[in-house]
Amino acid sequence: MELIRKAGNMGKFYPANPKEIEIMIDSWNQIIDKNIEDKNVLKIKPKSIIAPHAGYIYSGFTANFAHRLVPNAKPKRVIVIGPSHHVYLRGISAGYFDAYETPFGYLKGDPAYLKKLSEYFDFTFAEEAHYIEHSTETQFPFIKYYEPDVKVIELIYGITDYLEVADLIEFLLRDPENVVVISTDLSHYYNQKVANELDKNCVVGVAYKNLELIEEKCEACGKIGLEAIIKVAKDLYLETKVLDYRTSADVTGDTSSVVGYMSAVIY
């Protein structure tokens, strides 16, 4: 019997109707094409991307910018790594699913590859965490849209050392057919001025691979993943490029309490 990762956030964080998502993505891509100064950015072949995970109306543009580059790498497998928001976890929970539900149809899982990974890394399987976690699930419709035949693995972390996550990412990136998605939002519920100042530490930290700046001054709900991917980028001499930064105020107009969003590519 197949184990299906049902979409617990469909119709909440993103539309259940695939046509609505297609319209969103088409609109966002038109904005990128019209405004991007260096078209070569769109040709980057990512080893990893960093993408936010709020509702699509708030962070969809930012996330889409990164996901748009994934097909350039022609991946066989996309591994999505995000923080647990709803279930207390220690370590990393791996989703041993045969398929993942999205508005565009099902993504294939890769439990066989995950079983191989588990020979090297100590995973748990907190099944209840996976069915409600939006940090990872919000990435799936983008993956299905851009790479419909790719295989997906979902990894959700709780209390863990970022060095453990970094070791895992480095192992994953040894396979050129893998692309890793790091899911994170930035600061939460400060006014726009304070949020911009705090988020600048995360953005600059990623742009210049300044791990110390991220560790000490970046506020992010997926900070462990952020620290891990920047350590790997440093260790493997990979390049980083920030693609987009904005806050929820760009949509709501409310600057009194905002959430920050960033997307980036590691290549």
- Whole-angstrom distance, CA of residue 219 vs CA of residue 230: 15
- Of 31, 32, 71, 29, whose CA–CA distance to 49 is shortest? 71
CA distance 194 to 26: 32
All domains of the chain in start order, with CATH? 4-266 (3.40.830.10)
Q: How confident is the model at residue 1 (pLDDT cuts 50, 70, 90)?
A: confident
Q: Which residues have C-beta within 8 Å of that of residue 16, sequence separation ≥ 6?
A: 10, 103
Mean pLDDT, rounded, of the chain: 98
Roughly how many angstroms between the first and final C-alpha of the chain, as a whole number? 38
> Is the separation of the CB atoms in 245 and 262 below 8 Å?
yes
Helices assigned H by DSSP within the chain = 18-35, 56-67, 111-117, 127-132, 134-137, 140-146, 162-173, 192-207, 211-217, 223-235, 249-252
Question: Mind listing the pLDDT tens digit for each residue in 19-44?
Answer: 999 999 999 999 999 999 999 999 99
Q: How confident is the model at residue 223 (pLDDT cuts 50, 70, 90)?
A: very high
Percent composition of the chain: helix, strand, coil (DSSP 3-state, to 5)? 45, 25, 35
Residue 266 has pLDDT above 90, yes or no: yes
H or E element: which one contains 188? strand 188-190
Question: Which amino acid would we find at residue 214?
Answer: I
Query: Given this model, what pLDDT does residue 237 score?
Result: 98
H runs (alpha helix) in 98-150:
111-117, 127-132, 134-137, 140-146
How does pLDDT run across 99-122, given as a tens digit for each residue?
A: 999 999 999 999 999 999 999 999
CA distance 75 to 77: 5
Mean pLDDT of 153-167: 98
H/E run at residue 182: strand 178-183
The pLDDT-based confidence of 67 (bands split at 50, 70, 90) is very high
For residue 100, give the amino acid letter. Answer: Y
Contact in structure between 141 and 102 (CB atoms under 8 Å): yes
Does 50 score more than 90 pLDDT?
A: yes
Coil, helix or strand at residue 82: strand
- Local structure of residue 20 (DSSP, 8 states): H
